[in-house]
Chain A
Amino acid sequence: MRDGQSWPSPGDRGAGQPPAHDPRPAGPAGDLGALLAQVARGDQPAFETVYDSVAGQVFGLARSVLRDPAQAEEVAQEVLLEVWRTASRFDASRGSAMAWVMMLAHRRAVDRVRSRQASAEREVRASSPDIDYDVVAETVEGRLDAERVRKCLGALTELQRESITLAYYGGYTYREVAGLLDVAVGTVKTRMRDGLIRLRDCLGVDW
């Protein structure tokens, strides 16, 4: 792996160890913005609560996009430290705290997968992403959130759903999605947008 050789990545590279089971209660998501304000002032206990609230989603998303637990762990560590380092830059007027954290996580995961892909002569990742729908969140609240997402994804048209899941969980660009689904690029763009609008309304997102 070219990535790992001369570019520092913080953290232990111990690969292949199964995730430990140590369920910790997720913090109340509504308080995440307030917690981030405390984190911005260097409050380490607040950061521990933030970690416990978001680490499962950050790691799970990175694992889904990268499909490699060791790299997912590296990316998750980078993202969580970025949350610590840049908490002062979170601006509640521009979106929710969870959306901010997950945006950092998704960007970092796709940047990693695309640079990895570029360095491997843009090998075609032909298979669909393994979205492990059987992964069960540790808390009731988490299970309900996951269930709601699945239900809302299920309410989309097939093309909307595939376009969104390939891009989000698989980290593909819209051009790659068009290739994988064998449909026009313009169609994918449109389906992503109208699919997300339906998803937003189905999830009852505040915005």
Chain B
Amino acid sequence: MKIRRTDPHTLLGAYALDALTGADRARFARHLAVCESCRREARGLQEATGRLAAAAVTQPPDRLREQVLATAARTRQLAPLTRETSAWPGRRWGVAIACGLLAVALAVGGIAINTQHQLSVEQAHARDIAAVLNAPDATMMTAQAADGGTATVVMSKLDRALVFTASSLPALPSSRRYQLWLMGPRGAHPEGMLPMPHQGMTAPVVVKGLTAGDKVGLTVEPAGGASHPTAPPVLLLSLTSASS
């Protein structure tokens, strides 16, 4: 984790207002995980922002109530998270397998990250992962990378999010890293650097804000990351081809 020049505390207000995007949000979340006083302040500011909606109250159409209640009645709820039963209930066997793969990757990532005192980041991250895996429309896809290695993606279109993990990708020199992208009609959007592999397996990365036509791509970039892909992808997986 790089140390940034700017004081991350100044982002507390923007964070509480959801006015951070992508890299800023991720960087700030990492900081929150290691800053108890920031978490306390963030909580107070989020209570304040939550109250702002009182000034925007608008009665929704009646049909919304009927639809929400009827859909809820046939929608399965998430079980509470407990330490003992951290396995996610798979909706179908493919996802169950993905859960297994991701659980291994998470454990591996957890160990690696724990050494950097970032475990609580990983726990928040785990909740995001569980949300995708538990989505009613979770779909698993796998793809082979051009130079070897396999990527596994579990995607929820309802949540517009996916979980990406890879195994056995070719090792890179220390000056290079794998970078993840969403490549779609709007161009390539950086989605972060793939964590360093541990025993050949990379820890899962959550990508949010998917839109129609997006593909998930992986390129080899300078270790600090690039704002646009500088090389052809070693892996490109179309997300719309998946049947759900």
Q: Check A61 against B59 for contact (C-beta < 8 Å).
A: no
Main secondary structure of the interface of A (DSSP, over half): helix
Please measure, in the bound complex, the distance between the C-alpha atom of A142 and the C-alpha atom of B55, giving whole angstroms: 9
Residue among B11, B45, B68, B184 having the largest count of chain A Cβ atoms under 10 Å: B68
Minimum CB–CB distance for A203 against chain B, Å? 5
Interface size on A, residues (CB 8 A): 102
A137 contacts the other chain (CB 8 A): yes
Q: Check B10 against A167 for contact (C-beta < 8 Å).
A: no
Interface size on B, residues (CB 8 A): 65
Please measure, in the bound complex, the distance between the C-alpha atom of A173 and the C-alpha atom of B52, giving whole angstroms: 17
Minimum CB–CB distance for A39 against chain B, Å? 8
- A-B pair count, CB < 8 Å, reads 260
- B residues 72-88 near A (Cβ < 8 Å) are 72-73, 75-81
Q: Check B208 against A111 for contact (C-beta < 8 Å).
A: yes
Minimum CB–CB distance for A61 against chain B, Å? 4
Q: Check A172 against B185 for contact (C-beta < 8 Å).
A: no
Minimum CB–CB distance for A97 against chain B, Å? 9
B105 contacts the other chain (CB 8 A): no
Contacts of A47 in B (CB 8 A): 69, 72
B60 contacts the other chain (CB 8 A): yes
B231 contacts the other chain (CB 8 A): no
Please measure, in the bound complex, the distance between the C-alpha atom of A119 and the C-alpha atom of B240, giving whole angstroms: 16
Q: Mark A192-207, 1 if CB is under 8 A from B, else 0.
A: 1111110110010111
Given A174-B19, A200-B48, 7 other A-B residues pairs in contact with their CB atoms under 8 A = A77-B67, A94-B43, A106-B49, A106-B53, A107-B18, A145-B55, A149-B55
